[in-house]
Amino acid sequence: MRYSTLFTKQKMMRTVLIALIPVTLVSIYFFGWRHLVMGLLVALAGAVSEYLVMRSINREKAKISEAVFVTAALFTLSLPPLTPMWIAVVGMIFAIVFGKAAFGGFGRNIFNPALVGRCFVYIAFPTQLTMQWPLPFATLPGGFAAWSAARGADVIASATPNIVLNATGEATPLLNLFLGNIPGSLGETSAVMILLGAAYLLYKKVASWQLMVSTLAGAGLLATVLYYTGISSAAPLFVLLSAGLMFGAVFMVTDPISAPKIKAVQWLAGGLVGIITVIIRSFGLFTEGVMFAILIVNALTPLFELKYSQYKDKKKLKAKEAIA
């Protein structure tokens, strides 16, 4: 079977996969090759799930979108390093079936499928998704010479920077957050590699800089207010560099399907994601603020775009009436 008869070619999605290469490489260095194998299993599960669903809808025209591989990569990178592979596979199937196919397939989903799957496993398997955070490899060759970061009980009893801050008030050094040698989900730890991916996406013009900037600005603004009023102990830069906010702002908020298309709405949506993220982190029980924030704004995006379009139509009508 030819590639073109099985897959719907999507150049934009291949560009996103290329942008994820730096993040993927550094995740292997810090946590081992297990990540890559898990990612391949997740991609296979996603592709098979999408094909079977689309085949049940239209047997003759059933195709797999290349976007499924982006969803698989993002979903895998959002997981803790020691996530059981069967949980990752279950989460990916849920992401494709309920986060994408249930809305009619590619281009019709209102939620980011990768985050739908991540949210499902986070709620369904809280122990596996929140309790085991291995320390990353610290010296060369790092994870490139290891299967997994699980090297003994002493390195699985660690905690993410946000958990440490909430429990002890001790903030992880900003340089560690920037480079990524900290416990955390596979793709969220290294801000420098995420920024490299962002630069490539912007160079190729496949992601909205308005969404990236507004997300970080919204989070940074509220974090600054909370920090300098003494409400929160998390400094603004700590907030921006920790707990997946950077990864979410670059790769999740900018999802071409679930993100708003109107520039003005992009500023609003991104700002809300940043603000809601900080609110959840500061006052909620969860550290996964960015995941919930993006899904909430995904749900509101169609309403925002409708209201903005109605506003522009009324403005044009008034202008015509004034001329008449």
**Residue 129 is assigned to a structural domain of this protein:** yes
The residue among 225 and 169 whose pLDDT is bigger is 225
Q: What pLDDT sits at residue 2?
A: 53
Give percent above pLDDT 90 in the chain: 69
The residue among 152 and 53 whose pLDDT is bigger is 53
Structural domain range at position 32: 3-309
Q: What is the spatial distance between Cα 41 and Cα 58, in angstroms, rounded to a whole number?
A: 26
Q: What is the spatial distance between Cα 161 and Cα 239, in angstroms, rounded to a whole number?
A: 10
pLDDT confidence band for 155 (50 / 70 / 90): low
Q: Which of 48-62, 84-98, 194-208 has the lowest mean pLDDT?
A: 48-62
pLDDT exceeds 70 at position 250 = yes
The torsion angle over the Cα atoms of residues 92, 76, 154 and 135, rounded to 10 degrees, is -160
Write the CA distances from 164 to 51, 94, 134, 297, integer angstroms: 43, 31, 14, 28
Instruction: Specify the DSSP class assigned to residue 157.
Output: B
Q: What pLDDT sits at residue 56?
A: 81
Domain count, the chain: 1
Condensed to tens digits (0 to 9), the pLDDT of residues 20-70 reads: 999 999 999 999 999 999 999 999 999 999 989 888 877 666 778 889 999
**Residue 324 is assigned to a structural domain of this protein:** no
pTM: 0.93
Condensed to tens digits (0 to 9), the pLDDT of residues 115-147 reads: 999 999 999 999 888 888 888 998 889 999 999
**Residue 130 is assigned to a structural domain of this protein:** yes
User: Residue 212 maps to which CATH number?
Assistant: 1.10.3430
Assess contact for 251 and 78: CB atoms under 8 A.
no
Locate 122 and state its tokens.
């986070």
Mean pLDDT taken over the chain: 90
Residue 252, burial from CB neighbour count under 10 angstroms (0-12, 13-18, 19+): buried
**Residue 318 is assigned to a structural domain of this protein:** no
pLDDT confidence band for 249 (50 / 70 / 90): very high
Give percent above pLDDT 70 in the chain: 94
Nearest CA-CA partner of 45 in 96, 114, 106, 109: 96
